[in-house]
Structure 1
Amino acid sequence: MTKIKICGLMTIEDIDAVNQAKPDFAGFIFAGGRHHIDLDQAIKLREHLDPRIISVGVFVDAPIEEILKAVNSGAISIVQLHGNESEEVVDYLHDKNIKVIQVFNPTDEKFNTGADYTMLDSDSGEILDWKNLLIIPDILAGSINSANVDKAIKIVKPKIIDVSRGVETNGKKDINKIRQIVNEVHNS
């Protein structure tokens, strides 16, 4: 069964929605942008999150101390590296028994195979050309929504689908869209 991560959670209402839909992973973004939250917010959201849902923290070239603080606080269980982090950073996190998702985009010529999961994301908001991927990722992201998730799973066969904006209406998480895509992925 393919799993799913709902990323970019920011509010208690977002947490309530994922608690009802039961995705496998929930993502908190510490990397700036529209979905950015701080550690105090993430701790509060994690307290409300169903303990069976694994929390992931998204970082872009963050200081290792910041990453460790988020893990040690209990806000997150897995670290997602979305920048230009080196293999040494991945190795250091592994030495601390922290699982790592390393994110790549289709133009990357090499990728870190030391991570627990590789994730392919378009970084452009565009749908990837799934039929011509050079990297077959563990996790697939990039403009995925209910209308195209079945096709993405059939073509790429990722272990995990990652969505954020694809489950939003007017810039906010939409419980109906979350429920629908979680059901589609879990039944694929």
Structure 2
Amino acid sequence: MTKIKICGLMTVDDIKAVNQAHPDLAGFIFANGRHQIDLITALKLRKLLDPTIPSVGVFVNEPIDSMLKIYDSGAISMIQLHGQEDENTVKVLQAHQIPIINVFKPSQNNPQANADYLMLDSGSGNGMTVDWQKIRIETKQPLIIAGALDINNVTTAIKTIHPAYVDLSRGVETNNVKDPQKISKIVTLVHQL
């Protein structure tokens, strides 16, 4: 069974939709962008989120102390590094027993090897599609794929790459708002693959 992360959660309604669909991971974005939330909002949403769904904090070149503060608050249980963080950052965070997802682009042949999970994304969460047919990835860690995935292309991506997880944000939105029906449909579909 392929697992799924629904990212970019911002509202109580987003949490209700995720609780109902029950993906394997839920993502809060602390980096600049349309889906950015602050720690106060993340704490409020985490309290409402099903306790069995781990929450991932997404950061881009954030200072280590800041990431540790957010992790220590209880808002997140994993950290996703989506910038140019180095191997030392991964090691420091892992020393605090924090599972780390390290993002890399298709052009990078050697992603950070010490992260707990590796995520292939086409850009910086910008919704760019990856040509899955041209990608060949071999990793020891579980692989997560992202990049303009939606109900129409997720099956092809999974059957081509065989990732452990898929990550969706915009692909489960309608008019820039998380769509409970889209979330439910794609979680059910992915869990069947």
Once residues 101 and 87 of structure 2 are traced to their aligned partners in structure 1, the CA distance between those partners, rounded to angstroms, is 12
Q: Is the CA contact 1:106–1:135 (under 8 Å) kept in the aligned structure 2?
A: no
Q: What is the count of residue pairs matched by the alignment?
A: 188
Partner deviation per Cα, 1:18-39 (whole Å, 9 max, x = no partner): 0000001000000010000001
The one of 127, 132, 149 aligned to 2:129: 127
Once residues 148 and 134 of structure 1 are traced to their aligned partners in structure 2, the CA distance between those partners, rounded to angstroms, is 18
Change (3 A) 1:52 1:105: same
Residue 173 in structure 1 maps to residue 175 in structure 2: no
Overall identity of the aligned pairs, in % = 55
Cα offset, 1:126, TM superposition = 2.3
Once residues 115 and 125 of structure 1 are traced to their aligned partners in structure 2, the CA distance between those partners, rounded to angstroms, is 23
Residue 5 in structure 1 maps to residue 10 in structure 2: no
Amino acid of the structure 1 residue aligned with 2:33: G
Once residues 172 and 132 of structure 1 are traced to their aligned partners in structure 2, the CA distance between those partners, rounded to angstroms, is 31
**What stretches of structure 2 of length at least 5 have no aligned partner?**
none
Amino acid of the structure 2 residue aligned with 1:183: T
Q: How does 1:149-168 map to 2 (within 5 A)?
A: 149-168=154-173
Q: RMSD of the alignment, in Å?
A: 1.0
**What stretches of structure 1 of length at least 5 have no aligned partner?**
none
TM-score (norm 2): 0.95
Q: Is the CA contact 1:22–1:53 (under 8 Å) kept in the aligned structure 2?
A: yes
Q: Is the CA contact 1:106–1:134 (under 8 Å) kept in the aligned structure 2?
A: no
Amino acid of the structure 1 residue aligned with 2:98: I
TM-score (norm 1): 0.97
Once residues 77 and 172 of structure 2 are traced to their aligned partners in structure 1, the CA distance between those partners, rounded to angstroms, is 23
Partner deviation per Cα, 1:48-92 (whole Å, 9 max, x = no partner): 000011100000000111100111010000000000000000000
